[in-house]
A and B are shown apart, each in its own frame.
Chain A
Amino acid sequence: MTDSRRIMVKVNGVDYERLVEPRQLRVDFLRDDLELIGTHFGCEHGICGSCTVLFNGRAVRSCLMFAVQADGADILTVEGLADGKQLHPLQVAFREKHGLQCGFCTPGMLMTAYEFLNENSNPSEEEVRKNMSGVLCRCTGYKQVVDSVMEAAQQMRNK
């Protein structure tokens, strides 16, 4: 085992200080060390998108980064979306429009859509399809996912 490093990281607004082994992936750090198991882990090589989190405001694959690289970073995971008991409009829309079935892909879908809607509050359905194509879903057939993101966009604009 190589020397562990001390990192300081903010996750969902909470500061953590931890010792990590360099080879530990970010996703394992979130799940095993911080016990934030909302972030899912599928393919381990960047394809499926289920591990997507926000890293300093940008959507990234947490299976393609090491925990040591998070020193000083600000991370948002699916656990940080809701405001207390008040679900985020994206979460509400996914529930209402049946944007999930088993829910495995959902954390990645939500975090991907979150960044996307921050950048483009009034997207076309085509743009939603293109952007959400980076997360694989084996259940929904994607139509409901697209509907959910369109619905959330509208709700967020109306606010």
Chain B
Amino acid sequence: MKPCAFEYFNPQSVQEAIALLDRYGDEAKIIAGGQSLVPMMNFRLARPEILIDITGIKKLEYIKTEGDELVIGALARERDIEQSPLVVEKWPILSKAISFIGHSAIRNRGTIGGSLVHADPSAEIPTSLCALNGNVKVVGPSGEKILQPEEFFMTYLTTSLEPSDLLVEVRIPALPEKTGWSFGELSRRSGDFAIVAVGILLFTETTGVCREARISMGGVAPTPVRAEEAEALLAGQKITEKLIAEAAQQAAEETDTEPDYHASAEYRMEMARVFVKRGLQEACNMLNGGQ
């Protein structure tokens, strides 16, 4: 099929984009990379009457640091973030997570803002944002707000954005020097959406003892989720194989899965356990190897 007819605008500034959103409300849709929206338009699952192309707002393409935070403009392309030397060096988990998204031609167009607003629960960027304790900056007609992941992701493909809001920026705090991390996922074919995606961060001060653990899981609930009780099992402890197995089991119990076309609920839960276990082992080995 082909998309329905629409009127096309290409604002060159955030103010202009918001004014258009404010004027057209529900009839309008933003297009960034188009890698999630255009497939839906081609199938006529989305039929916006007004399309607001924000890719002309070049000043939202930045990837930089402010203080020791990573700050990324909503229109930074997935591929540019994946390959950014800054990200690869200091936030490698984000680069690795993005490398799992679709294929290079998809990542060449897809943007960080688009992936977050699309809010697929198994998507890699939302899952890593939760692990990294990042937040998003949103601008609307009534001003600016900063939202934490739990205030932003509501349920499947749904965020707390108002129709006239624009996501403009993503902020990610610095990682401590002694960080072990991993990002892994299960998908049927290379490039497919993940059945289960798991991002792990382990922080340590004393060799072998975990100060803080973060376990973020995608694909196992209506939004990406942190396995908080499993994290609590690990915090302040010496990490052993036995503890890893317990934490992985606990994480699997913190999922809220539903069966779908790709996998049964039980399978997703079991795979969450397996991928948390492997992820913790990998992050742990990184810490041990790095000392």
Contact = CB atoms under 8 A, between A and B. Distances in A.
Contacts of A28: 2
Interface in B44-87: 51, 53, 55, 79
B42 A45 contact: yes
Contacts of B51: 22, 66
A21 interface: yes
A60 B105 contact: yes
Contacts of B141: none
A22 B8 contact: yes
A5 interface: yes
Contact of A59 (B39, B43, B55, B104): B104
A12 interface: no
Contacts of B102: 46, 134
B109 A64 contact: yes
Interface residues of A, number: 31
Nearest to B103: A134
Contacts of A68: 8, 10, 53
How many residues of B sit at the interface, in one of the four size bands? 20 to 34
B99 to A, nearest CB: 9
A130 B105 CA distance: 12
Interface in B84-102: 102
Interface in A29-87: 44-46, 49, 52, 58-61, 63-66, 68-69
A23 B40 CA distance: 13
A5 B2 CA distance: 18
Contacts of B1: 44
Interface of A: 1-3, 5, 21-23, 25, 28, 44-46, 49, 52, 58-61, 63-66, 68-69, 112, 115-116, 130-131, 133-134
Given A64-B38, A66-B38, 15 more contacts: A2-B8, A3-B7, A22-B8, A22-B51, A25-B2, A44-B1, A44-B43, A46-B106, A49-B103, A58-B79, A58-B105, A61-B105, A64-B35, A65-B34, A112-B104
